[in-house]
Amino acid sequence: MRKPGVNQTRRKIINFIREYYDEKGYAPAVRDIMKGCELSSTAVVQHHLKVLESEHQIERDSKVFRSIQLPDRKSTIRVPVLGTIAAGSPIPVLASDTWHTEAVDTLELSGEITRGKDVFALRVSGQSMIDALIDDGDIVLLEPVKRADNGDMVAAWLIKEEEVTLKRFFKEDGKVRLQPANTQMKPIYTDSSNISIQGRVVAVIRTL
Amino acid sequence: MRKPGVNQTRRKIINFIREYYDEKGYAPAVRDIMKGCELSSTAVVQHHLKVLESEHQIERDSKVFRSIQLPDRKSTIRVPVLGTIAAGSPIPVLASDTWHTEAVDTLELSGEITRGKDVFALRVSGQSMIDALIDDGDIVLLEPVKRADNGDMVAAWLIKEEEVTLKRFFKEDGKVRLQPANTQMKPIYTDSSNISIQGRVVAVIRTL
DNA sequence: TTGTTTTAAGAACAAGTGTACGATATAAAA
DNA sequence: TTTTATATCGTACACTTGTTCTTAAAACAA
């Protein structure tokens, strides 16, 4: 007899795969799914897996055991925490080759946050960036770029003032406007030659 | 002749496992390691895996294919994004049982951020929490608790005002002080009976 | 009804994979 | 030198696991 709803079983399978993976740390075998979803044949599982794969709900490598993957599982990235950033001190710049060996600490993040970009992280020391909504102890994720587009949040080194600041970047008539995220704070105007972009902020993480 | 340094091979194996996992999304088989590390027998790999396991460098389930795990790989957690939080609207409260099925969206996070707690996430809408250093579009991670200790950052529902706010919680002589994270903003004083704790903020994530 | 499609069942097969056994080799210790 | 411990090699076996085949029940349409 035909069991419950149509794709009910497939939903169950997806959930089971996720739970199994969370618990065990590796993907289930076809027979694991069979038992876990209370099916009595591997052929049933096989069939649903084929459908799910054609729908791009899962991925698997033929000929490889336990190779089922959920798309969002593939995207965790190891991010090196290079050091601490504070107003008045320059960001320690390292070649991206040496990142993974030099990093004091690393952070495991999902691609949803980094969006696949090659980033590094810095711990923020002090409240000098409070006007950019960045507090003491926060971690900022930076994409190492030298130039920025209008509206980007950047880590800028103010050469004359000898200060690093995190603000939104706007180019206006050869001058540069650095706009705090907090609209109640006033922007900084400076000459283009006075600033050096250290990186573009792609994310901020604060743990309490 | 005895090959290079003593545990040189084991280091190579560890690195290979990590790279293989990063590339493929599942753990290598013994024979994959054999080929990848230019060894000519599975027995060699087997021997080193045993040593590595006794040193707690890897974990594996006997009888389960492709079950090798590196300890730091196990600590990512799936967090359900339950909805949107905005000033004036209550937080949608769900039983933790239904989280994973009801969630519109999920976020893959490392245990370093959530610190192993059972949390849920909310997207912040609007700039009404700007004084708590939380901007429009931010994601807050909340631990579902009903009470808070002094100093905790909480999501509090102000009953009379019909408003949700994120502030630091301090109990003072039967009254409650809600202190904005931004020290330039003034605190809110209210009666204990007028607030209902919705959850404790454990982290804030902002992507730009 | 009849036919078609989808889902399920059970079993058998083929291939992937972990493990054990025996042997050799190098290095350090006795 | 003889031990002892560790690293390597080759191979065979047994178990795990993916795949296929046949049969059949249920849902849907004509």
Q: Which domains does chain B have, with CATH numbers?
A: 8-72 (1.10.10.10), 76-205 (2.10.109.10)
Q: Is 50 exceeded by the pLDDT of residue A106?
A: yes
Check B208 against A203: CB less than 8 A apart: yes
Of the candidates A35, A62, A167, A193, the residue annotated as catalytic is A167
In angstroms, the separation between the Cα of residue A31 and the nearest Cα of chain B is 12
Written as six digits, the tokens of B202 are: 């454990």
Q: Is 50 exceeded by the pLDDT of residue B95?
A: no
- DSSP state letter for A132: G
CA atoms within 13 A on the CB side of A205: 21
Q: Please, which pLDDT band fits residue B7 given cuts at 50, 70 and 90?
A: low
In this predicted model, what pLDDT tens digit does every residue of A125-175 receive, in sequence order?
777 677 777 888 888 888 888 888 998 888 888 888 777 788 888 998 888
Q: Is 60 exceeded by the pLDDT of residue A123?
A: yes
Q: How far apart are CA B67 and CA A27, in angstroms?
A: 9
Q: Of A91-95, A199-203, B152-156, which gets the smallest average pLDDT?
A: A91-95
Of A18, A72, A108, the CB nearest to B110: A108
pLDDT of residue A49: 86
Contacts of B65 in chain A (CB under 8 A): 29, 65-66
- DSSP state letter for B59: B
pLDDT of residue B92: 56
Q: Of A131-145, A154-168, B42-56, B96-110, which gets the smallest average pLDDT?
A: B96-110
More confident site: B105 or A31: A31
Q: Is A167 a catalytic residue?
A: yes
Q: Which nucleotide is nearest to B47 (CA to C1')?
A: D7
Contacts of B26 in chain A (CB under 8 A): 26-27, 61, 64, 66-67, 69
DSSP A93-130: ---TTSHHHH-SEEEEEEHHHHTT---EEEEE-SSTTG
Q: Of B34-48, B70-84, B190-204, which gets the smallest average pLDDT?
A: B70-84
Check B27 against A26: CB less than 8 A apart: yes
Q: Is there contact between A33 and strand C, defined as CB under 7 Å from any strand atom? A: no
pLDDT of residue A105: 58
Q: How far is the CA of A26 from the C1' of C20 (A)?
A: 25
**Pairs across A and B, CB distance < 8 A:** 114
In this predicted model, what pLDDT tens digit does every residue of A107-120 receive, in sequence order?
666 666 666 677 78
pLDDT of residue B106: 64
Q: Of A99-103, A140-144, A149-153, B114-118, which gets the smallest average pLDDT?
A: A99-103
Contacts of A74 in chain B (CB under 8 A): 25
pLDDT of residue B93: 52
Q: How far apart are CA A154 and CA A200, in angstroms?
A: 4
Q: Please, which pLDDT band fits residue A121 given cuts at 50, 70 and 90?
A: confident
Q: How far apart are CA A17 and CA A11, in angstroms?
A: 10
Q: Please, which pLDDT band fits residue B2 given cuts at 50, 70 and 90?
A: very low
pLDDT of residue A101: 44
Q: Is 50 exceeded by the pLDDT of residue B19?
A: yes
In this predicted model, what pLDDT tens digit does every residue of B119-162 receive, in sequence order?
788 888 777 677 778 888 888 888 888 888 998 888 888 888 87
In this predicted model, what pLDDT tens digit does every residue of A33-54 receive, in sequence order?
888 888 878 888 888 888 888 8
